[in-house]
C-alpha cells in the first residue's frame, strides 16, 4: 500500500475546497521529522478533516484548512503539537516537536534490560505463568470463565509489573457478584456517550477491586452482516456510534488522556474489518476499498486513539486476503504511522499461529490447541508491527523462536526495542510503573463489585437501550393491571446476560447478584404479576437467543428466516422456528389477551411474521444483570428512548443490510417508538 496515496485519498474524501497549506516539521535540534502525522481538525471533534504525512525532509502539503480549525502534528516519542490556523497564512515553517519526557523514563528502564528481558516483555502468557525464558513476561491473561483472585500478588511485585488481562467487555463478568452491563449493541441503542463513559469508569473500578489492570475492551467494530456471531460486540452498523461510544468508554476507563486515578489499560479491538467479512463468517475475509477503510472502519480507531487508548488488538480476519496479524501496511503503515498510535499492538488468542490458517475457527472444547507458533508466522507478525504476542499455549516456543530470529537477523534489535518501548509507554501512562500496587482507593475494594451505584448505572443503561418496534395500545402497562410474565428468558439471568458472562460462551444458569426480568416486574410494580395466563389481561412473553460467542454464533449455510438460535452445545447451533411462538401468541389472543413480546437478542433478526403476530414488540438486546430496567420502561416509569443501532431486516435475503445501501428493511436504522 502506497502511504502517500492513501493519505491524499483521505484528504480528498472530505471534499473541502480551500487552498492548500504547506509546512515542515522538525525536532528540537532542528532535524527534519519524517512520517509525522499532520491533521486538520475542527476541535473538539475527534476526527480529522484532512491528513497527510511529512516526507523525508519533514515537509508536508495539506488542503482544507480554515481559520476555525487547528493543525495537529503527532509522532510516537514526541509531544503532540497543536497550532491554530491563521487566516490567510498558507505556510507553517519549522513546527517543532518536543520529545515526550516519558521517553526519558523508558530509556532508564530499558538501559537495565537485556534483549531476553525485552522479548519477555513482548510475551503474554497464561495465568499463572510469569517465566518467559530468561525474563519475566510482560503480561498474562485468562480466557472467559477463568479468574485467579491472587495472581496480582506475583504479577505486580515484579520489577516491571506484569499486567493481568481479561475480556471485561460488559463488566467484570467472570467475577461472581459483579455488575453486568448491557452488551455494546444495547449501548449503541442508547446513543448516550456520557452514560457509556460512566460505564467505562464503573468497569475500571470493579476491575481494580478484582485486581485486574488490563481490559480487552472496547470492541469498536462496525458490524455489517447480521449472520456474524459477534454483532452484539459492536455499537452498531454506522461508524458514528463506534466513534462516539468507543471513545467515551476509553475516557471512562482511563480518564481524559490517562489522568484518572482509577485508570486501567484499555484495548480497542479488533483491528481491522472484523465486522465486514464475507457472509459474516467470523475470522473470514473482508473485501474493503480504500474509501470504506477511511470512511467506515478507521474513524472509531482514530477517535479512541485521540482519547488516549493504550493498546490495540489485531484481528483474526483478513482484509483483502491479508491476515491482520501480519498486515504491515495497516498495522504499521496506517495505525502506527498515519494515525500516530504510540501504544502497543497485541495479538488475539494464539493469533500469530492463526495467520497460517486464515479463516479457520478452532475447536477449543475438543482440546484442539497449539503449543507452538511457527517461525515464519512469528517473523511476519512481529515485523508487521505486532508488539505483544498473546501466546497462552505457546510461550516457550515463542520466546525460543524470537531469540533464533534475532540471531539470524530476521527480526532486528530495533524492532524488538520499539515493541518493548511501546509496552513500557503504555504501562507508564497507566501508572503501572510508578504505582505497581495500583490506586489504593480502588484496589481490592470489594464493595465496588456489584455496588448499588454501579447497578443503578447498569439499570439506566437497560432503560435507555430498549427499542420499541411495535405498540398497538398495549404499552405502557398499567400498574393496576394483571400481567403474566412468561417465556424461556423471563426468569433466567444467564440468558439475559449473553456471552462473556461466567464463561466465554456465557451461561444458561443463574448469575449471582443479577435480577431477572420477571423479578424486576415484582420490584417495579408489586402485585401486578400473576401466575397464569388466565388471570392476566396482558401477557409479557420474554424469549430470544441463547448465549454464544465468536464463530459459535455465526449463521453459516442456514436459512434463518423466522429462526432463533435456541440450543448451544458448543459444537454446533440449533435453531428454533418462531412458528411455535406465533402459535402460542395467537392462542392467547384468541382467549382475549394482549401480548407484548420482549426479545433478548444479540442482533436484529429476520423474524417479520413473529413481530407482526405480537400486539407489542420490544427489543431488549442483551441487558445484563439489571432486569428491572425492562419493567421500568414497560410500566412507563421511564419513557422509552432507545433507537435501533442497526437496520432491522424484513427478510434474510436482504442481509447484509445497512444504512445508506438503498435497501428498505422492516425498520430503519434509528427507529424506535416512545410513549
Which residue bears the cell 410513549?
Answer: 675
Spot the catalytic one: 192, 225, 350, 550: 550
Residues 6+ apart with CB under 8 A from 391: 123, 124, 125, 347, 350, 352, 373, 397, 398
The answer to whether residues 110 and 424 touch, using CB atoms and an 8 Å cutoff, is: yes
How does DSSP classify residue 373? -
Cell of 666: 422492516
Long-range Cβ contacts of 114-120 (<8 Å, 24+ apart): 115/403, 115/406, 115/413, 115/416, 116/403, 118/416, 118/417, 118/419, 118/420, 119/399, 119/402, 119/403, 119/406, 119/416, 120/399
How does DSSP classify residue 483? E
Supply φ then ψ for residue 108, to 5 degrees.
-60, -45
Cα distances (Å, whole numbers) of residue 92 to 11, 58, 60, 63: 18, 12, 10, 13
Dist CA 502 CA 483 (whole Å): 31
Neighbours of 580 (CB within 10 A): 10
Torsion (CA) 624, 630, 632, 636 in degrees, nearest 10:
150
Residues 6+ apart with CB under 8 A from 595: 474, 538, 539, 541, 585, 588, 589, 613, 614, 615, 616
Dist CA 11 CA 49 (whole Å): 7
Query: Does the annotation mark 550 as catalytic?
Result: yes
Dist CA 222 CA 201 (whole Å): 23
Q: Residue 585 in 3-state DSSP? A: helix
Burial class, 604, CB count within 10 angstroms (exposed 0-12 / middle 13-18 / buried 19+):
buried
Q: Residue 626 in 3-state DSSP? A: strand
The answer to whether residues 335 and 329 touch, using CB atoms and an 8 Å cutoff, is: no
Strand order, beta sheet including 318-319? 285-286, 318-319, 322-323
Query: Does the annotation mark 559 as catalytic?
Result: no
Residues 6+ apart with CB under 8 A from 330: 1, 271, 272, 319, 322, 324
Could you tell me which residues are beta bridge partners of residue 617? Answer: 470, 597
Residues 6+ apart with CB under 8 A from 460: 195, 629
Nearest in space to 528 (alpha carbons), one of 568, 480, 576: 480
Q: How many residues does the chain have?
A: 675
Spot the catalytic one: 274, 338, 348, 626: 348
Neighbours of 404 (CB within 10 A): 13
Cis peptide before 368 (omega within 30 of 0): no
Residues annotated as catalytic are 348, 550
Amino acid at each position: 500500500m502506497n502511504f502517500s496515496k492513501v493519505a491524499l485519498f483521505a484528504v480528498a474524501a472530505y471534499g473541502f475546497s480551500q487552498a492548500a497549506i504547506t509546512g515542515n516539521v522538525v525536532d528540537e535540534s532542528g532535524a527534519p521529522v519524517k512520517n509525522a502525522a499532520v491533521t486538520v481538525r475542527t476541535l473538539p471533534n475527534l476526527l480529522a478533516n484532512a491528513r497527510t504525512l511529512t516526507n523525508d525532509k519533514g515537509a508536508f502539503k495539506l488542503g482544507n484548512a480554515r481559520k476555525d480549525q487547528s493543525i495537529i502534528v503527532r509522532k510516537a516519542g514526541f509531544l503532540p503539537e497543536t497550532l491554530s490556523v491563521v487566516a490567510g497564512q498558507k505556510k507553517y515553517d519549522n513546527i517543532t516537536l518536543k520529545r515526550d519526557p516519558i521517553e526519558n523514563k523508558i530509556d532508564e528502564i530499558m538501559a537495565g534490560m537485556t534483549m531476553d528481558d525485552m522479548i519477555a516483555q513482548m510475551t503474554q502468557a497464561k495465568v499463572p505463568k510469569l517465566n518467559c525464558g530468561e525474563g519475566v513476561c510482560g503480561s498474562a491473561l485468562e480466557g472467559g470463565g477463568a479468574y485467579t483472585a491472587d495472581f496480582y500478588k506475583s504479577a505486580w511485585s515484579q520489577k516491571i509489573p506484569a499486567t493481568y488481562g481479561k475480556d471485561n467487555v460488559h463488566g467484570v463478568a467472570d467475577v461472581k457478584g459483579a455488575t453486568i452491563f448491557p452488551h455494546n449493541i444495547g449501548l449503541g441503542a442508547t446513543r448516550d456517550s456520557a452514560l457509556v463513559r460512566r460505564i467505562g469508569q464503573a468497569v475500571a473500578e470493579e476491575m481494580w477491586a478484582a485486581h485486574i489492570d488490563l481490559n480487552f475492551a472496547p470492541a469498536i467494530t462496525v458490524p455489517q452482516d447480521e449472520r456474524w456471531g459477534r454483532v452484539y460486540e459492536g455499537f452498531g452498523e454506522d461508524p458514528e456510534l463506534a466513534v462516539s461510544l468507543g471513545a467515551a468508554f476509553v475516557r471512562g476507563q482511563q480518564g481524559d488522556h490517562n489522568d484518572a486515578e482509577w485508570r486501567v489499560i484499555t484495548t480497542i479491538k479488533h483491528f481491522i474489518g472484523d465486522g465486514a467479512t464475507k457472509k459474516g463468517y467470523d475470522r473470514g475475509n473482508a473485501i474493503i476499498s480504500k474509501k470504506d477503510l477511511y470512511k467506515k472502519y478507521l474513524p472509531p480507531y482514530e477517535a479512541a486513539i485521540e482519547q488516549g487508548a493504550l493498546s490495540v488488538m489485531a484481528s483474526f480476519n483478513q482484509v483483502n486476503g491479508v491476515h491482520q496479524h501480519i498486515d504491515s501496511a495497516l498495522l504499521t503503515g496506517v495505525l502506527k504511522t498515519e494515525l500516530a498510535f504510540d501504544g502497543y499492538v497485541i495479538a488475539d488468542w494464539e493469533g500469530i499461529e492463526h495467520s497460517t490458517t486464515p479463516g479457520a475457527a478452532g475447536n477449543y472444547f475438543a482440546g484442539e490447541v497449539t503449543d507452538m507458533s511457527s517461525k515464519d508466522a512469528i517473523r511476519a507478525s512481529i515485523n508487521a508491527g505486532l508488539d505483544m504476542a498473546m501466546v497462552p499455549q505457546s510461550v516457550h516456543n515463542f520466546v525460543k523462536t524470537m531469540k533464533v530470529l534475532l540471531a539470524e537477523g530476521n527480526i532486528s534489535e530495533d524492532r524488538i526495542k520499539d515493541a518493548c518501548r511501546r509496552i513500557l509507554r503504555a504501562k507508564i501512562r497507566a501508572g503501572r510503573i510508578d504505582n505497581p500496587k495500583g490506586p489504593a482507593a480502588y484496589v481490592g475494594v470489594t464493595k465496588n463489585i456489584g455496588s448499588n451505584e454501579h447497578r443503578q448505572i447498569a439499570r439506566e443503561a437497560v432503560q435507555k437501550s430498549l427499542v420499541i418496534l411495535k405498540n398497538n395500545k398495549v404499552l405502557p402497562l398499567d400498574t393496576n393491571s394483571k400481567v403474566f410474565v412468561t417465556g424461556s428468558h423471563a426468569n433466567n439471568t444467564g440468558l439475559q446476560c449473553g456471552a462473556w458472562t461466567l464463561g466465554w460462551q456465557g451461561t444458561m444458569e443463574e448469575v449471582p447478584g443479577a435480577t431477572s426480568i420477571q423479578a424486576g416486574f415484582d420490584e417495579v410494580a408489586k402485585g401486578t404479576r400473576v401466575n397464569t395466563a388466565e388471570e392476566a389481561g396482558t401477557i409479557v412473553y420474554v424469549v430470544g437467543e441463547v448465549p454464544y460467542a465468536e464463530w459459535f454464533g455465526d449463521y453459516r449455510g442456514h436459512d434463518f428466516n423466522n429462526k432463533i438460535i435456541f440450543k448451544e452445545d458448543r459444537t454446533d447451533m440449533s435453531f428454533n422456528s418462531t412458528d411455535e411462538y406465533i402459535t402460542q401468541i395467537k392462542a392467547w389472543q384468541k382467549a382475549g389477551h394482549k401480548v407484548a413480546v420482549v426479545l433478548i437478542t444479540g442482533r436484529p433478526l429476520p423474524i417479520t411474521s413473529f413481530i407482526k403476530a405480537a400486539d407489542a414488540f420490544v427489543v431488549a438486546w442483551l441487558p445484563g444483570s439489571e432486569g428491572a430496567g425492562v419493567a421500568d420502561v414497560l410500566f412507563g416509569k421511564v419513557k422509552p428512548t432507545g433507537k435501533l443501532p442497526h437496520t432491522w431486516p424484513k427478510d434474510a435475503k436482504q442481509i447484509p443490510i445497512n444504512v445508506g445501501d438503498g435497501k428498505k428493511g422492516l425498520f430503519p436504522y434509528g427507529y424506535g417508538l416512545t410513549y
